[in-house]
Structure 1
Amino acid sequence: MVRKYVVSPGGRRGAHPDIGSALRAAAARGRAARIEIAPGQYEEQLTVHGEVELVAVGEPGSVVVSRPRGTVLTAFGSVVVRGLALTGRDADAGVVDCRAGFLTLDRVEVRAHHGVCVHVRPGTSATLTDSGFRFGRTVFTGATAVVERCRFAGAADNAVAVIESARVTIRDSRIDGARIHGVRVSDASAQLTGCEITGTERAAVIADTQAELTVEGCRIEGVHGPALQFVEQSRGAVRGTRVRDAENGILVASGADPQVRDCVFTGCRDTGIHVQEAGRGAFEDCEVVDAGNVGVLSTRGGAPHVSGCRVSGGNVGIAVTDRARGRFTGCHVHDLTGVGLRVWDESKTVFEDVRVERCPFGLDAKGNGGTTAELTGVAFGDFDMIAVAAVGQSRVTLRAATAERGLLGFGAGEEAQLQLHDCTVTGVETGGALAFGTARLVARNLTVTGAQSYGLCGTGSAFVDVAGSRFEECAATGLRFDESCGGRLVDCSVTGTSGTAVQHNGRVQLVSLQTTLPVKEITEPAPPPTIVNNYHGPVFVEAVHSAQLAWGNTNVVQQQTHQSRPDDRSEQTAQSVRTEQTGRTERTDDPGHVDPVERP
């Protein structure tokens, strides 16, 4: 049977004047006790042993128990606290310190200035319901606990810390304004359901050090760092969660591998889904809206598997960069201001059954020879510039891909390699496929229909290998090969009512071609004459008569003899020129003409 004790600060008849005296009386009897406390201020340190219930008589918060410094309530046994307000300062061990047994806090207000609100220690259990915890953190160390309908506000540290093998369930609770994390799970296990977290300065919810974390049906808004973060080989699941206005919707790194499903990330300032540094993870049926930089980013060794996700608004849809990997299946990317898909810098990516619509660029691949992208069943539609662009030394392979309504279908430049298998290009403003620089383009069963200029073009020193392909109703030419582009055409057809079937430079092998349109060879103009300017010889600015010229000699000796006839009718001049060492001597007899004089 439970023994009841009454506490009144006025010390009325039959009541204890303070809570401590009632606890001592209950301990002396050694039986279960219920201590009913009248409203008032109690400056006490409470140590509770055994099976004890502390109950505020009146509204919750009408009983205030406080101390200037240190712990206010220490629990040993089975302790229940209802409706009290507990306030402490500099309580490193906790304003409420559960050292043994089982602790229940119901409709309790705990304020910890420069300290810990509640510390639930190893081997103990706790239940926190309809309570508020302000300014300090709530710590579960190696304990088990259930938290329901509680509020954690203004924590100067982590609002809730679940550490050292603790197992905690938090339901329908709210966490506001934590200086570090809202909930940190480290080497422990936690489950959050129906919670709301706002205003944290770092990650709202973080799992580290091989933690297990499940987040379901939660809302996270207005946080300065990531909304969700899994690092250091942590695991877990995130389902049905909504994120708005965070730096990153979810950040996965350092070997972590969460399962994320049916989540929405809206207005994230940097990225919606961010995987890096050997992070993995499976992301299913998620949505990223209006990400500031990238909707889904795998970088620096990340390797996610993303399926059924939708990315809309923002700058870049899906990006895999800096030696990362990724597999993307059944995704829909649309209405971006930049590029739908990006593969850069030695990354390796697979896209399957992906749709990219209303983006200036479809796929942008750039990097060295280790940069590869494989696309199967990918559809690009209503792109402003180009569906697929491969540059650098990147390698891109498309199978059963389509490109509709844009400027240019598929292009490869610089030293890139582009392979097209069973692909279709329809209704483009310029051309179906383009190879330039020293790129290599291989097309098998390519169909280009309704291009307003050309079906396929090779220029520069590119190499083009096209087989089994069709080019229909291309306005200017089916295939065009300029400059020193080389390659071959095998079993191709060009159909239409106007234009040219093939314009080539003579470097492309036309093995077999079916067409009723003309085939024209582009003749290169003859090179201009070579002009050599000699800036070491003489320069004449007007006509010169009877001049002797010598240059390139080390030593020149000239002798002249004048003889006059008696009748003085004419004068005859004998001239001789002797040159030493190697040189050249020329004489002019006519204006503007120079004849060589052979050296004796």
Structure 2
Amino acid sequence: LALRGQDPAQPLVRVEDASGLTLDDCALSHGRVEVLGSPGAPADPDRERLPLTVDDDLRAQLDDPVTGGVLVLRQTRLHGAHHTALHLDGDARARAEDTVIDSVEGIGVVLSGAAVLLAERLRVSDVSGSALRARGNSRLLVRDARLAGAGRHGVLVQDTARARVEDCRIDAVSMSGVQLDHEARAELTDCRITGVGGSALAAGGTTRLTATGCRIVEPAANGLLTLGDAAAEAVDCRLSRTGFSALHFADRSTATVLGTTVTDSREHALAVTDSAAAELSGCTLTGPGLCGAQVTDAARLTLRGSRVVGGETGVRLRSSGESELRECAISGQSKGGVEIGTDATVALVATSVTGVGSAGVTVDSGARLRMDGGGVYGAGGSGLVVWQGTEPTVRGVRIERAGKNGILVGEKARGVFEHCDVSGSTFPALHIGAHAEPVFRGCRVFDCDQDVGTANGAQPVFEECVS
């Protein structure tokens, strides 16, 4: 069947409450398709356990449509509508297979109320608004969709709506690939988001976003952005060539990132700001334009079993919150490996810094550092730099082939250094600044032209040390 409307802003096909329709191999143009539900239909109290899946053919609902209108689209094209091409409201249900939606002056698909859309191999292109929008208490389940060229978002999920998006591709939309607002929830699996004009994945409010096995390529802004009190989880994802920081967590948001690779971000590979908290495990951050990871304000970072390669600085911690790097490898930066700013509290556990252009680890005045195990190898500057007013605790650390000092203790600094080895440094292995009072216990110096250099008033204490 081919239908052409006279007013693209008006309904062309309407499926009323408690009725059902199947459209097979049809072409509908210049008007929208509406599926209506019961006015003010309450949210299903069991909606978290709804039996609906993308594979559900809605046969039972079509046979007995008593809980809202039911629509099935197969190999059908919706073309040239205004405002929206397909609108589901109330407790309406719809399934779309091999359906094309294009040339819409507005949104491709809108779900509101408690509506549900099941879509497989859906194609949406050339729409001035978002490709898919779920709001109210609706539910969107999409598999193998292609959403391209939308004037706003690829998928917009708002209010308390939920979305499950599997094996989908979102290309060249003008804003976010997937945007979550208010209290929405979304799960993405094996999706690819490329060339979007904003952030690939963005979550605000109190939303919850999970992305598994997703690929993000060349967004103009961030790869994954969380704001407000949002929570995000990314597992086995790959992000490359982001215009801003690849992972950016701000405000009071929280994020867990596992087994994820970030390459060639123009800013930071990871930025954690405000009061946000991020945990990364088994990740690789390579080739950022600035820092591998930057933490500021009162944010907190836990980085475990991860690699940070290249960029200007490996990890820059300038937050008053507590951060930890455990069993990490930081290498190949043009400037410093780990920079710890004033008021930061940091634990470095079994973490190595290798082949950086300047200092391996720098501790600014007023910062608090606990460094246990690990080491600094081949730093262009000093291996470990401790500035005025700091009192780090350093145990079991190896520092080799430093271009300057192995350990530089600045003016009036203190701290305890236990069972550390320094070898092959170009300048004195240990430099003790004016009026500094560090304590060295069980430390060893190998193969250095000079073991200790002291400034006026320095009062280091050595216990059971060997040169």
Same fold per TM (> 0.5)? Answer: yes
- Residue of structure 2 aligned with 1:75, choices 88, 104, 109: 88
Measure, in 1, the Cα distance between the counterparts of 2:217 and 2:366.
38
| Correspondence for 2:230 | 211
Matched, 1:418 2:438: yes
1:159: Cα distance to partner?
1.8
| Correspondence for 1:95 | 108
For the 8 Å contact 2:110–2:133, the answer to whether it is kept is: yes
Measure, in 2, the Cα distance between the counterparts of 1:296 and 1:393.
26
For the 8 Å contact 1:343–1:372, the answer to whether it is kept is: no
Measure, in 1, the Cα distance between the counterparts of 2:145 and 2:386.
54
| Correspondence for 2:43 | none
Equivalent residue of 2:83, what SS?
coil
AA in 2 matched with 1:8: A
For the 8 Å contact 1:253–1:302, the answer to whether it is kept is: no
1:178: Cα distance to partner?
2.2
Matched, 1:122 2:141: no
1:402: Cα distance to partner?
0.7
Cα 1:441/1:231, change in 2 over 3 Å? same
Q: Greater shift after overlay, 236-245 or 48-57?
A: 48-57
For the 8 Å contact 2:2–2:28, the answer to whether it is kept is: no
Gaps of 5+ in 2: 5-9, 37-68
AA in 2 matched with 1:191: T
1:419: Cα distance to partner?
1.9
Matched, 1:196 2:184: no
| Correspondence for 2:198 | 180
Matched, 1:157 2:175: yes
Cα 1:42/1:397, change in 2 over 3 Å? same
Q: Relative to total residues, which structure has the larger strand share, 1 or 2?
A: 1
1:376: Cα distance to partner?
0.8
1:20: Cα distance to partner?
6.6
- Residue of structure 2 aligned with 1:139, choices 132, 156, 173: 156
AA in 2 matched with 1:139: L
Equivalent residue of 1:359, what SS?
coil
Measure, in 1, the Cα distance between the counterparts of 2:422 and 2:383.
9
Deviations 1:516-573 (A, max 9, x none): xxxxxxxxxxxxxxxxxxxxxxxxxxxxxxxxxxxxxxxxxxxxxxxxxxxxxxxxxx
Report the number of matched residues: 418
Higher relative CO (CA 8 A, sep ≥ 6), structure 1 or 2?
2
Equivalent residue of 2:179, what SS?
strand
AA in 1 matched with 2:94: V
AA in 2 matched with 1:425: V
1:213: Cα distance to partner?
0.7
Matched, 1:66 2:80: yes
Measure, in 2, the Cα distance between the counterparts of 1:381 and 1:192.
41
Gaps of 5+ in 1: 1-6, 11-18, 58-62, 449-600
Matched, 1:288 2:308: yes
Measure, in 1, the Cα distance between the counterparts of 2:157 and 2:308.
34
AA in 1 matched with 2:24: E
Which residues in structure 2 correspond to 1:2-21 (within 5 Å)? 7-8=1-2
Deviations 1:285-325 (A, max 9, x none): 000111x2211110142421110000111121111013222
AA in 2 matched with 1:216: V
Deviations 1:434-457 (A, max 9, x none): 211333212111111xxxxxxxxx
Which residues in structure 2 correspond to 1:265-276 (within 5 Å)? 265-276=285-296
For the 8 Å contact 2:78–2:85, the answer to whether it is kept is: no
1:266: Cα distance to partner?
0.7
| Correspondence for 1:42 | 29
AA in 1 matched with 2:342: D
1:350: Cα distance to partner?
1.1
Equivalent residue of 1:215, what SS?
strand
User: Quick one: percent identity of the two aligned structures?
Assistant: 19
Measure, in 2, the Cα distance between the counterparts of 1:81 and 1:66.
18
AA in 2 matched with 1:79: A
Cα 1:243/1:54, change in 2 over 3 Å? same
Aligned-residue CA RMSD (Å): 2.1
AA in 1 matched with 2:228: T
For the 8 Å contact 1:399–1:422, the answer to whether it is kept is: yes
Measure, in 2, the Cα distance between the counterparts of 1:433 and 1:114.
69
Deviations 1:352-409 (A, max 9, x none): 1021111132011223x2x332211111112232111122333332111111122321
Equivalent residue of 2:173, what SS?
coil
| Correspondence for 1:535 | none
Q: Greater shift after overlay, 175-184 or 215-224?
A: 175-184
For the 8 Å contact 2:272–2:299, the answer to whether it is kept is: yes
| Correspondence for 2:42 | none
Equivalent residue of 2:252, what SS?
coil
- Residue of structure 1 aligned with 2:316, choices 297, 300, 324: 297
| Correspondence for 1:444 | 463
- Residue of structure 2 aligned with 1:435, choices 454, 461, 465: 454
Cα 1:27/1:220, change in 2 over 3 Å? same
| Correspondence for 2:50 | none
Matched, 1:308 2:327: yes
Cα 1:112/1:165, change in 2 over 3 Å? farther
